[in-house]
Copies of this chain bind each other. A is one copy, B any other.
Amino acid sequence: MTPLAKLLEAALFASPRPISLAELAELDPEAPLAAVTAALEELREHYNVDGHGVELVELGGGWQILTRAEYTEAIERAQLAARPQRLSAAALETLAIVAYRQPIGRAEIEEIRGVNVGGVLKSLHERGLVDVVGRAEGLGRPLLYGTTPQFLEHFALRHLQELPRADELAIALRSAEPAGVE
Determine the residue in chain B with the shortest Cβ distance to A2. B51
A10 to B47, CA, bound (A): 12
CA distance A116 to B127 in the complex (A): 13
- Quick one: closest B residue to A54, CB to CB? B13
Interface size class of A (residues with CB under 8 A): 35 or more
Stretch at the interface among A64-72, A160-168, A172-180: A64-72
- Judge if A136 is at the interface, Cβ distance under 8 Å: no
Additional A-B contacts beyond A6-B51, A89-B132, A115-B143 (12; CB < 8 A) = A11-B71, A11-B80, A11-B81, A15-B75, A16-B81, A19-B80, A23-B78, A27-B78, A50-B50, A89-B131, A93-B132, A115-B125
Q: What are 5 inter-chain pairs, A to B, with CB distance below 8 A?
A: A1-B50, A7-B53, A10-B75, A19-B80, A27-B80
